[in-house]
Amino acid sequence: MRNATAKKKPRPSGRAAAKGGERTPPAPVPESRWVALGWWPAVILTCWSFGFTTMQGSDLWWHLAGGNWIAQTHTLHFTEPFSFTCHGHPWFHAEWLSDIVFHTWAKLFSLAGLVWWKWGMLVATFGLLFRLLRQICGRSGSAYLAVLAGIAVGAPFFDIRPQLYTFLGFVVVLSFALPLSRRLWILPLVFLLWANLHSGFLLGLVTLVGVLALSYFYRETPRRAVYLALACLLACFVNGNGTDAILWPLRFAQESSSPFLRIAEWLPPWEPGGIRSSLYYPSIAVFVVSVLIVVGSGAYRRQPRLTLSSIAIGLITFVLSIRSRRFIPLFGIAQSLLLAPALAVVFSSLRSRLVRRLPWLDRPRVWSIALPVAALVWGGWQLAPYPLSRNAFLYLTAEDTFPVEAMNLIEANHIEGKVFNFYNWGGYIDLRTQGRLQVFIDGRAGTAFDEKTYRQYLAVLGMYNRWEEVVWASGADYVLWPQHSPRQVEQLRKSGRWRVLYFDHVATLLVRAERPQADALVPTPDSPWRDLALGWSSMRTRDYLTAAGQFERALQRMPNLRAACEGLADGQSLSGRLAEAEGTVDRCQRMFPDPGRREQLRGVFEKRARTSSGPRP
């Protein structure tokens, strides 16, 4: 690995010097300015193409609700405002500044405009990583491939949530600390912001201290390094939670028996459930092989401190990722630090061998143009199928899996009180009602809700230990539960204590049977979501013609509403029009590509074709 600091060339120590007789691979020839600039369009398009992860992120909604609450109350004294179980209790809110950013962004550019925030964060994070890797290995092509590997490993976890600040902050710290930049004085300002955006700043602080300690070992310590580390630490204390911002995550990590650690995103990667990265285990092998190549080839001798720092950072993030899958994207970033120089060594060796055998391939100028152009074409091809507009918000948040129309009904009828709700929907209820309909729990488990409340929810979710009594004794006036988990709703309804107030294809709203029945509910405002719900209601009665009209009407009003498109395809399939259903599925895929979903629907249609002799009545 070459020295990452071009202007600052530290004096090599005895430890850093190569031993006599040992060969060090020649340093790569620096690329021209125009060649270096030519890679940036490819990097931007490629990073952008990884910003289309579909995820039912429950956190975004309560962050938006929290930002609105902070803007209205003008306070940083955080007490729980949205629930009836822990109302008024202390709320450890390490991400309050992120809430303000989300709220302000949505107010200025619309809620759906948050997709641009996400895309901007990803491009900034991995664009900066590309710049760092190119400094380390001296080759844009190797840096590009290493960035591609890093972003692909973490892609399943890219949600519209404050965790993206930690990915960016981690890369910023690496970009300044690894090459021991002369602008290290900026880092206290970075930590001042980071400590109020996301609690992942602790990893950045550990990384910085570790890099500075190794620089002292290699006699490359920047001036006033101790004061710099101290300033970064003190900056972390300037936050809305005081010392708890640092101490709370440490205490939480040590409580191995905490039920909050069983939340899907905190589970180890080998346990079932939650988000999974298919490239995680291969990336571990890549990390090991990269270390062997960099060390075995002697490339580490050009900058041993940087190599050792990269290995240490990779090991730290690997241990964290083994313990909890939420750290997998950070390991993806860390392993690229060694992958880039390893690729440079491999490609240099391959090039030398090929040129000796095929001299006509020795065309540096041609390759310097062809490679970034090929990367640009590949990145554009990957990006092309996706909606590059606010329309992507519906898919990136899986908004159609939330109780949109049920909340429309709640708002239209001014329903207030207490609701025992599905965990992932708590934040959405917070945002839509701002506490008028108080939730039992939401995504702030561990920061606003206590273990008792969370365990009670788990009992209901798993239908354990007299769970019906938990719901009844909670004092909730309503139950809002998803249709994909109908057993709870059915059993509560059969108990006679609850009656159905509303239901659609997404959610069922129950109310206590003892409450007096009001007059007929006020219908929801005319909207594509209402048409979607009516279409599914017609599907239940096998009125496929009416359902098709309602789904088409929803699509006319909201052309990107894929749930209506898939409902239309399902109705066509059930009525025996399989060819039309296939064409409609293709139409749905053009809205937002999801090959797995396409195959799933086609499998259903093919099964119906085999078991059906004609249109159903």
What pLDDT sits at residue 612?
Answer: 59
pLDDT at 4 over 80: no
Interaxial angle between packed helices 114-137 and 328-357, expressed in degrees from 0 to 180 and rounded to the nearest 10: 50
Q: Is the pLDDT of residue 11 over 60?
A: no
What's the CA gap between 336 and 591, in Å, rounded?
33
Determine which of 138-142, 286-290, 347-351, 486-490 has the lowest per-residue pLDDT on average: 347-351
Query: Which among 371, 378, 461 has a CA at the least distance from the CA of 420?
Result: 461
Domain spanning 528-611: which superfamily? Tetratricopeptide repeat domain (1.25.40.10)
Mean pLDDT to the nearest integer, 51-58: 87
Work out the pLDDT band at 12, boundaries 50, 70, 90.
Answer: very low
* Mean pLDDT, residues 445-474 taken together: 94
| pLDDT computed for residue 429 by the predictor | 98
What's the pLDDT tens digit per position in 242-283?
888 888 877 777 777 788 888 888 889 999 888 899 999 999
Q: What are phi and psi of 234, to 5 degrees?
A: -65, -35
Please determine, for residue 446, whether its predicted confidence score (pLDDT) is greater than 90.
no
What average pLDDT is seen over the chain?
91
What percent of the chain clears pLDDT 90, i.e. is strictly above it? 75
pLDDT of residue 617: 37
pTM (global) more than 0.85: yes
Q: Quick check: 20 pLDDT over 50?
A: no
Q: What is the gyration radius of the CA atoms in the chain, in angstroms?
A: 28
Integer Cα distance of 158 and 253 in angstroms:
22
The partner residues of 142 in beta bridges, in order of sequence, read none
Q: How confident is the model at residue 423 (pLDDT cuts 50, 70, 90)?
A: very high
Q: Tell me what pLDDT residue 27 has.
A: 59
Distance, in Å, from the CA atom of 266 to the CA atom of 204, rounded to the nearest integer, reads 19
Greater pLDDT, 509 or 303: 509
Coil, helix or strand at residue 83: strand
Q: What is the pLDDT of residue 86?
A: 96
Note the pLDDT of residue 25.
Answer: 60
> In the chain, where are the structural domains located?
113-256+273-362, 399-512, 528-611
Structure tokens at 357: 């055998």
What was the pLDDT predicted at 24?
Answer: 60
| Cα–Cα separations (whole angstroms), residue 45 to 39, 129, 192, 244, 378 | 10, 15, 31, 40, 9
Of 5-19, 251-265, 601-615, give the lowest mean pLDDT range.
5-19
Mean pLDDT of the 172-193 span: 96
Q: Give 575 or 114, the one with higher predicted confidence.
A: 114
Q: What pLDDT score does 26 carry? A: 59
| Tokens linked to 58 | 């429950």
For 262-271, the pLDDT digits (tens) are 888 888 999 9
Residue 555 burial (CB count, 10 A): 24
- Band (pLDDT 50/70/90 cuts) for residue 8 is very low
Cα angle 204, 60, 590; round to 5: 110
Q: What is the pLDDT of residues 352-403, one digit of tens each?
A: 888 788 887 777 777 788 999 999 999 999 999 999 999 999 999 999 999 9
The DSSP element (H or E) to which 502 belongs, if any, is: strand 498-503
Q: State phi, psi for 593 to the nearest 5 degrees.
A: -70, 135
